Amino acid sequence: MIIFLPPKIVVPIILIHSTLLTTVLLVGLRGEVDLKRIWPLIVAGIIGVPFGTYLLIGLDENISKIFIGSVIILCALAFLKGFKRKIKNEKLAFVPVGFISGLLSGSAKMGGPPVIFFFTNQGMNKQAFRANIIAYFMALSLVTLPSFILGGLITIEVIKYTTLFLPAMIFGVIIGTKLVTKVKENLFQDIALAIVIIAGLLSIVSSLCGYF
């Protein structure tokens, strides 16, 4: 979407869609959520969101997308090559990971990569991975949505596109839910990282399109 529409339209659309999506998925996965483990991540992410929203409103969107996309691709490639350094003090490490994720979520709705990288690095199993990341983004969405409304980012145009793209998101959720139980742990992590790389590439491509 970000290739064809400006970030100030796309980011609120993704926010609304992700809020609906996480609400539905969390009902089925709530038993797998480990709040005792991820609460520092949630708190740090919530703190980062308003700063990200401020950046979305004020920064040059093309420069920020090139930077974000490049960092995401380099990190994902490193993990696919086997780079892992398991961190013992996980709760402390969740603070910078959550803040960076919140910052990216508020500015580009790309808060997933830092958390995906960290969960992958820690070797979190597939079900816990899905449940915890969904719970995390549900918490972020509940904070981001009011900040977007106050920032004037939820417009009539945003609502129109949100409704238009909703059937595609629902179709994707149905397919993804059916496939996830058939995917092995290692393949699941590789797919997650591959999606992150694609997101990074699209971020760079869309920014270059903005210059030309």
Query: Mapped to the 3 state alphabet, what secondary structure does 38-64 carry?
Result: HHHHHHHHHHHHHHHHHHHHHCCHHHH
Q: How far apart are the first and last CA of the chain?
A: 17
Least confident of 31-40, 42-51, 60-69, 96-105: 60-69
**192-206 average pLDDT score:** 81
**Which DSSP string do the residues of 166-190 spell out, in sequence order?**
HHHHHHHHHHHHHHHTTS-HHHHHH
Domain assignment present for residue 191? The answer is yes
- Rounded Cα–Cα distance for residues 49 and 106 (Å): 5
**86-95 average pLDDT score:** 88
Beta-carbon contacts of residue 145 (< 8 Å; ≥ 6 apart) = 15, 16, 19, 154
Domain assignment present for residue 43? The answer is yes
Compute the radius of gyration of the chain from its Cα atoms: 16
Q: Is the pLDDT of residue 212 over 80?
A: no
Structural domain of 157: 7-211
Residue-level pLDDT at 74: 82
Q: How many residues does the chain have?
A: 212
Domain assignment present for residue 197? The answer is yes
Q: Is the pLDDT of residue 165 over 70?
A: yes
Domain assignment present for residue 130? The answer is yes
Domain assignment present for residue 1? The answer is no
Domain assignment present for residue 2? The answer is no
pTM: 0.71
Domain assignment present for residue 146? The answer is yes
Domain assignment present for residue 30? The answer is yes
Q: How many domains does the chain have?
A: 1
